[in-house]
Chains A and B, each alone.
Chain A
Amino acid sequence: MSMGAEHQITAGFMPLFDSAVLVAASELGFAAREGIDLTLHRETSWANIRDRIAIGHFHLAHMLGPMPLACNLGLTPLASETIVPFSLGLGGNCVTISNAVWAGMAAHGAAPDLDPARAGAALGALIRERAAAGHDPLRFAVVHPHSGHNYELRYWLAACGIDPTRQIEIVIVPPPFMADALATGRIDGYCVGEPWNSASVAAGTGHIVTVKAQIWRNSPEKVIGVRKAWADENPEALAALLRALHHSARWCQDPANHGELAAVMSQPGFLGLPPAVQMPILTGHLQLGDGAERTIDDFFLPFDKAANFPWKSHALWFYTQMVRWGHVAHTPENLAIARDCYRPDLYRSALKPLGVALPGANSKVEGALRVATAVGATGAGLMLGPDGFFDGQIFDPDEIDAYIAGQKSARADA
């Protein structure tokens, strides 16, 4: 512990690759350079992270994007008010299925090209065929009910005409157990971050059928969740941390540093997996199974495309999915809570002294950018997008009632 540090900050994280920006901030000195003594604690469940934030063991933590919303909306036990001043990246997840399901999908026209529409159509045909034959519904796993994984899996399935509440079963499995659960037939597929998809492919027990970056390109995943009571009392410490995370994220994005980043993450205290296992998420070059491979644009972005900006439209999209799947009622009060959870104002004020490009708006219309686009921003050279949903839908946070109403009818039609 450096005694001279101005700020003492304790943070929790889960051993997943997208904790990299937080880990690198500590291990490569970005936090120390901002006068922060950053102590990281590895946790075994999101519930532990939530509990330790709630009782003040942690000031902040690596969290699932929808998790702070769930805390503030009263959906989880023992949660405290949590805000999001920083996003840890865009993308990074895949949907992986068993060899048996892949064979069934291939018979219905699936190809190893990761195309969400084509894969979803084949999966839908297989599901209807199985139902007609009286088989049990396929069982998919996600890491947590209030996760990007759960919402993007459901979004993809529903957009392909599959009702995820009735035509399949969705269970919760911790990320490191996914590959094993698939191999032993306890689940038929899952949606999780890397390296737990490539793990099944490498073991010959699964196929990657689509990826988050193609279901919704440049979409939100993990965030920094901060205990609001601490943030209110320690604005300088928080701002210093956000600057440290900014520098760390920039470093993580640079391909020249990927080897070193993979080596840091491979240490037993972080991921504890060989560096080679971490290269697919860094390069976007994935093995899909049976020798097929693909390089995915914007597979995981820890920094580029304003990846760290906590867009209110990201939080609001998560909120629409919480409403859609019955996690929360759509009321003016709940909408206000969802709107206040992500804090671009804190991000902006912390980074302003650095003179870097910052988005001028707090929200954007999601899915509207067909090509990479320079946006109006303070500072120079901020590119966003493309950010399309695979089904061509647009999410306009100013038209949230219509969006929620539209997706409800889509569900009823499914």
Chain B
Amino acid sequence: MVRTALAVLVIDENRIRAAIIEAGLREAGHERVTVIHDVTGIARRIAEIEPDVIVIDLENPNRDMLENMFQLSRAVKRPIAMFVDRSDQASIEAAVDAGVSAYVVDGLRQERVKPILDMAVSRFNAFSRMARELEEARNELESRKVIDRAKGILMKSRGLSEEAAYTLLRKTAMNQNRKISDIAQSLVTAAGLLGPAEDE
């Protein structure tokens, strides 16, 4: 029997993550990949695509609607079950941990689908890591900005050098067992409340 290429449907409201998954699938040799960001009219799309595997992000609030459609709708020819083999607990846990879920049409063999799920899991994890690093970088930048403002306030109001202002912030943070950025934020807030409006 000739193996036809699997049709894979990726449903993800996050366009960047969907693009990363799609790229991974194409690199792995899957040519029939469709990405949907918006579930409006999805029953018709599924009827057109006739997917063998559907990959969905777990944050999608439409999962209940989609599951119901897979189970009942005439749009899907063969019943679709979640994951390949329920006994593969480790890969199910890895998927849920990563925030992704996969549905496959009945009768597909595990070895054909597992690489797709594994790839989706690793790409979801990579995306989360990236998003986390981006968030940390953003927070870092924000903290640095607020520390600079706090230093400015201390330099102006107490006639300190930049270095002395920073040392004072750091000492205060250590004494109070708080982050420098928290102390700086408090100072900026207090200065805004007490002093003449900075922006005027």
Binding site for B on A (CB under 8 A): 44-48, 51-52, 55, 57, 76-78, 143-145, 171-174, 176-177, 186
Query: Using a CB-CB cutoff of 8 Å, which residues 17-68 of chain B contact chain A?
Result: 40, 58-65, 67-68
Let me know if B65 and A171 touch, CB within 8 A: yes
Judge whether B174 is part of the interface by a CB distance below 8 angstroms. Answer: no
CB distance from A154 to the nearest CB of B (A): 14
CB distance from A184 to the nearest CB of B (A): 10
Q: Select from chain B the residue with minimum beta-carbon distance to A76.
A: B67
Chain A residue contacts of B64, Cβ below 8 A: 45-47, 143-144, 172, 174
Q: Which of B81-89, B142-150, B192-200 makes up part of the contact surface? A: B81-89
Most chain A C-beta atoms within 10 Å of own C-beta, residue among B60, B65, B72, B103: B65
Q: When the two chains form the complex, which single residue of A45, A52, A55, A186 contacts B61, counting CB atoms closer than 8 Å?
A: A45
CB distance from B108 to the nearest CB of A (A): 14
Given A48-B58, A51-B96, A55-B93, A77–B82 Cβ distance below 8 Å?
yes
Let me know if A44 and B86 touch, CB within 8 A: no
Q: Report the separation of the CA atoms of residues A172 and B73 in the bound assembly, to the nearest whole angstrom.
A: 12
Let me know if B96 and A45 touch, CB within 8 A: no
Judge whether B181 is part of the interface by a CB distance below 8 angstroms. Answer: no
Judge whether B76 is part of the interface by a CB distance below 8 angstroms. Answer: no
Chain B residue contacts of A52, Cβ below 8 A: 96
Let me know if B72 and A174 touch, CB within 8 A: no
Chain B residue contacts of A176, Cβ below 8 A: 61
Q: Select from chain A the residue with minimum beta-carbon distance to B62.
A: A174
Q: Select from chain B the residue with minimum beta-carbon distance to A173.
A: B65
CB distance from A45 to the nearest CB of B (A): 4
Judge whether B187 is part of the interface by a CB distance below 8 angstroms. Answer: no
Let me know if A77 and B67 touch, CB within 8 A: yes
Chain A residue contacts of B65, Cβ below 8 A: 171-174
Q: Select from chain B the residue with minimum beta-carbon distance to A177.
A: B61
Let me know if A145 and B68 touch, CB within 8 A: yes
Q: Report the separation of the CA atoms of residues A48 and B56 in the bound assembly, to the nearest whole angstrom.
A: 12
Q: Select from chain B the residue with minimum beta-carbon distance to A77.
A: B82
Chain A residue contacts of B89, Cβ below 8 A: 55
Given A55-B96, A57-B96, A77–B61 Cβ distance below 8 Å?
no
Let me know if B63 and A78 touch, CB within 8 A: no
- Tell me whether chain A's interface is mostly helix, strand or loop, or mixed: loop
Given A51-B101, A55-B93, A144-B68, A77–B62 Cβ distance below 8 Å?
no
Q: When the two chains form the complex, which single residue of A44, A77, A171 contacts B83, counting CB atoms closer than 8 Å?
A: A77
Q: Report the separation of the CA atoms of residues A76 and B64 in the bound assembly, to the nearest whole angstrom.
A: 11
Which 9 residue pairs of A and B lie closest in terms of their CB atoms, listed nearest first? Answer: A77-B82, A45-B63, A172-B65, A47-B63, A174-B61, A172-B68, A44-B61, A78-B82, A55-B93
Judge whether B92 is part of the interface by a CB distance below 8 angstroms. Answer: yes
Chain A residue contacts of B86, Cβ below 8 A: 78
Chain A residue contacts of B81, Cβ below 8 A: 77
A-B contact pairs, 24 of them (CB 8 A): A44-B58, A44-B60, A44-B63, A45-B58, A46-B64, A47-B63, A47-B64, A47-B67, A51-B58, A52-B96, A55-B89, A57-B96, A77-B82, A77-B83, A145-B68, A145-B71, A145-B72, A171-B65, A171-B68, A172-B69, A174-B61, A174-B62, A174-B65, A186-B40
Chain B residue contacts of A78, Cβ below 8 A: 82-83, 86, 92
CB distance from A232 to the nearest CB of B (A): 19
CB distance from B115 to the nearest CB of A (A): 20
CB distance from A12 to the nearest CB of B (A): 12
- Render B103-122 as a binary contact track against A, CB cut-off 8 A, 1 for contact: 10000000000000000000
Chain A residue contacts of B60, Cβ below 8 A: 44-45
Chain B residue contacts of A44, Cβ below 8 A: 58-61, 63
Q: Report the separation of the CA atoms of residues A329 and B22 in the bound assembly, to the nearest whole angstrom.
A: 40
Q: Report the separation of the CA atoms of residues A173 and B63 in the bound assembly, to the nearest whole angstrom.
A: 10
Chain A residue contacts of B92, Cβ below 8 A: 55, 78
CB distance from A187 to the nearest CB of B (A): 12
Chain A residue contacts of B96, Cβ below 8 A: 51-52, 55, 57
Q: Report the separation of the CA atoms of residues A41 and B59 in the bound assembly, to the nearest whole angstrom.
A: 13
Q: Report the separation of the CA atoms of residues A44 and B61 in the bound assembly, to the nearest whole angstrom.
A: 5
Q: Report the separation of the CA atoms of residues A177 and B101 in the bound assembly, to the nearest whole angstrom.
A: 22
Q: Report the separation of the CA atoms of residues A55 and B92 in the bound assembly, to the nearest whole angstrom.
A: 8
CB distance from B175 to the nearest CB of A (A): 25
Q: Report the separation of the CA atoms of residues A77 and B56 in the bound assembly, to the nearest whole angstrom.
A: 14
CB distance from B62 to the nearest CB of A (A): 6
Chain A residue contacts of B103, Cβ below 8 A: 77
Q: Select from chain B the residue with minimum beta-carbon distance to A175.
A: B61
Q: Report the separation of the CA atoms of residues A371 and B65 in the bound assembly, to the nearest whole angstrom.
A: 39
Q: Report the separation of the CA atoms of residues A57 and B95 in the bound assembly, to the nearest whole angstrom.
A: 13
CB distance from B91 to the nearest CB of A (A): 11
